[in-house]
Amino acid sequence: MNARTRWTASCLLAILALLAVCGSPGTADARIVRIQVTATESPTFGGYSWPGVGQYEKVVGKAFGEVDPFDTKNAVIVDIQLAPRNAGGKVEYSFDFYILKPIDLSRGAHKVMYEPPNRGGKTWGNFGRMPGGNDPGSVTDPTVLANAFLMPRGYTMVWSGWDKAAGTSTAGFNTTITLPIAKNADGSSITGPAYEYIVMSGTAAFPLNYPAATLDKSKATLTHRVHLNDVPAVIPATGWTYNASGTTINLVPAGWVANDIYEFSYTANDPSVNGLGFAAIRDWNAWLRYEAADDFGTPNPLKGDIQRIYTEVVSQPGRLLNDFRHLGFNQAENGKKVFDGLMQWIAAGDGINMNYRFSQPGRTERNRQDHLYAEGVFPFANVKTHDPITGKTDSRYARCKETGTCPYGVEIYSANEYWVKAASLLHTNSQGTRDLHESRFTRNYLISSHQHGTGNSASKGNCQQFLNPLNSAPVQRALFVALDEWATEHTKPPRSRVPRLHDKTLVPPLPQAGMGFPSIPGVTYTGLKTTRYLLDYGPHYYDTGIATVNPPLITPPYEDNPHNGPIYPSFIPKTDRDGNDIAGVRLVDVTVPIATYTGWALRAGPQANDGCESAGQFVPFPKTKADRLASGDPRQSVEERYPTFEQYQHRVAHAIREMVEDRLMLCEDTASEYARLIALGLAQGVPAPPGPPPAVSPVPLCGDKNEHHGDDRDDERDDD
């Protein structure tokens, strides 16, 4: 054998060895192997047909997948190599899916809106201008359907299960996932420390997320407190009980104090491999996008159609997709990209308590709840930052950059995410000393003064003030269009709009004068903000996902960095003299205000002045000058701000037009927004016009749709 032949043979052997490890381009070790269609409705939506697109059909069923636990794309899943394997050495799982698609795909957009459900439920309705709950295909009202956002554009909509805490499938089209249980090598149950945060009322038993490993109550502790800062009082063993299977606990006698805090620490067994939810999302969307049929010949209902997939999420699944990106799951088994763009609503810089042993994906930290679950974990940002506490350097986009599979992202979030989450760490460094530059893949948008969620009714719930009614949906729709233009036409979206340290629109919550919030009669301001700690679950937890201590400890300062301590500094938006956030995307309600809107709220009742979790506040301005003087309210009255109806009307119209010109509202949303804001102003004291309020604005609401303002940022650059 000559030198050239030996060299060729060596190269061939090396290539074969590499393919054996990585898999050939046509081989998928993690994949959907079978789909089972359980229901088809064609046409759906009562047969309604959209011009240019036609009718839609509904396809519902269950998908079955498997992954190679030793493939590097899957090995990041905690406990994956301890899960049971089939005869082929793969780990199996299954999940529910729900698809709405044009019957004639050739008339559609060849684009998918994928939503990982929130606790099993579909949450796209506000964004999509669609009712219907978990079965949107059941909507038949032609007036409603004509006003829908995605179907007239020819989008296919897809949902699939990923969260084992979502419950079982029902006729209501809840979407969940079936996951394997990790076991020790000898087949025995894995045990470990587990923790439950309990806020409930009534006499029903509390269902544990994992069964107790022993019914010996001396191995568990239940505590009770009223306020977050109270010292927890231990409930004696005689004061609570397990059921016979160790899957629930209850008080003796039964009766939880509503809204009080109970915490239960115990030894659990049989952890589910929750991180498989990431692979389920990856493999399902990759199968729909790239494959023709399953292993048994069942055809892909979207075969050959998909050119782009964008996500739309609300809260929990946004935190899921933050970790999905960070862990490298946007690379399919064939090496290609899964999602082209992620539209994140109210996720900000947090991850999800999922890829850990005995994790609980349904948990989410607030001012008062679920503080001791791993969620706010470094890295927080989409550009590289250094963590001075652990010494790590990372970004949520680091892995996808290595494989060339990064999705574009628009991060849209409320003011509540600054008060109870890690939003400021999305665009400041971990030391809290400087603003971060822009990622070339993402834009960040604070919806100023917004609550977590959208469109609350005129009630107080458990809070001291009326709930915040702001609705970000028009901005989300505009940015979804901008995200598509970014991915397909390389047209950059509107510039980021967030508060900044350098211009002092991002500040600490105390003192009150420093953050600018006015002293409004009857409104308590405490500056209560969630602290972002590095929590200590025992050695190597953040590398292995396996806790030896739970509930966790608050990590003491590192010896080589004693002044930084265990806290990641985070901040909140500064307000104007009305109490409305200065920076961010200001909805017309905030630009032309009739009230103070906040992203934070405080509780009423026995838990008074603890945080009111995800709620914000709506505090109307005094209607008249006399009202203002009588109450001592420092905020100008509605009467003083808008002496005539015409002044209010013109300011609303101009503010809407500016939103459209900045590509933060679509023309199709302007008429309804104008009508809503006119009605709101009149209800809050704006002088009524002589006749009926005009249905059409005196100012054109839509300018040149091709006129783009402020798309680029000078500091955008690669984050290496």
Chain mean position to CA 266: 29
- pLDDT at position 694 over 90: no
Ordered DSSP codes for 20-57: HHH--TT--SSEEEEEEEEEEESS-GGG-EETTTEEEE
The pLDDT confidence band at residue 225, using thresholds 50, 70 and 90, is very high
| Type of residue numbered 67 | V
Q: What residues contact 424, with CB distance under 8 A and at least 6 apart?
A: 349, 418, 432, 499, 506, 570, 571, 572
Reported as a single tens digit per residue, the pLDDT across 166-208 is: 865 444 688 999 999 999 999 999 999 999 999 999 999 999 9
Classify 335 in phi/psi space as left (phi over 0), alpha (psi -120 to 50) or beta: left
- pLDDT at position 392 over 70: yes
What average pLDDT does range 569-578 have in this prediction? 97
Classify 518 in phi/psi space as left (phi over 0), alpha (psi -120 to 50) or beta: beta
Whole-angstrom CA distances from 105 to 100, 111, 398, 489, 687 are 11, 10, 35, 22, 52
Evaluate whether 435 touches 636 at the Cβ level (below 8 Å): no
The pLDDT confidence band at residue 12, using thresholds 50, 70 and 90, is very low
pLDDT at 110: 98
Token pair recorded at residue 229: 């800062």
What average pLDDT does range 295-322 have in this prediction? 97
Quote the CA–CA distance of 548 and 541 in Å, as a whole number: 8
pLDDT at 710: 44
**Helix 473-489 crosses helix 667-683 at what angle (to 10 degrees)?**
160
- pLDDT at position 11 over 50: no
The pLDDT confidence band at residue 1, using thresholds 50, 70 and 90, is very low
- φ/ψ (deg, to 5) at 264: -130, 120
Beta strands, E only, 482-629? 506-507, 535-536, 553-554, 572-573, 595-598, 617-620
Number of separate helices (H) and strands (E) present in the chain: 15, 27
The pLDDT confidence band at residue 707, using thresholds 50, 70 and 90, is very low
Using DSSP's 3-state secondary structure scheme, residue 202 falls into strand
The pLDDT confidence band at residue 15, using thresholds 50, 70 and 90, is very low
Reported as a single tens digit per residue, the pLDDT across 121-136 is: 999 999 999 998 999 9
Average per-residue pLDDT in the chain? 92
What average pLDDT does range 674-692 have in this prediction? 96
| Type of residue numbered 140 | T
pLDDT at 207: 97
What average pLDDT does range 553-560 have in this prediction? 60
Of the candidates 119, 195, 187, the residue with the CA atom closest to the CA atom of residue 159: 119
The pLDDT confidence band at residue 718, using thresholds 50, 70 and 90, is low
Please tell me which residue, 386 or 26, carries the higher pLDDT value: 386
- pLDDT at position 564 over 50: no
The pLDDT confidence band at residue 148, using thresholds 50, 70 and 90, is very high
What average pLDDT does range 223-249 have in this prediction? 96
pLDDT at 699: 87
Token pair recorded at residue 124: 């796209």
- pLDDT at position 306 over 70: yes
Reported as a single tens digit per residue, the pLDDT across 512-553 is: 999 999 999 999 999 999 989 999 999 999 999 999 999 998
Percent of the chain with pLDDT over 90: 85
- pLDDT at position 22 over 50: no
Rounded (5°) CA angle 136-311-93? 80
pLDDT at 717: 57
Type and span of the H or E element at 126: helix 125-128
What average pLDDT does range 565-591 have in this prediction? 95
Token pair recorded at residue 343: 């539209």
Quote the CA–CA distance of 108 and 153 in Å, as a whole number: 7
Evaluate whether 588 touches 677 at the Cβ level (below 8 Å): yes
With 0-12 / 13-18 / 19 or more C-beta atoms within 10 angstroms meaning exposed / middle / buried, residue 427 is buried
Please tell me which residue, 212 or 27, carries the higher pLDDT value: 212
Reported as a single tens digit per residue, the pLDDT across 335-373 is: 999 999 999 999 998 999 999 999 999 999 988 899 899
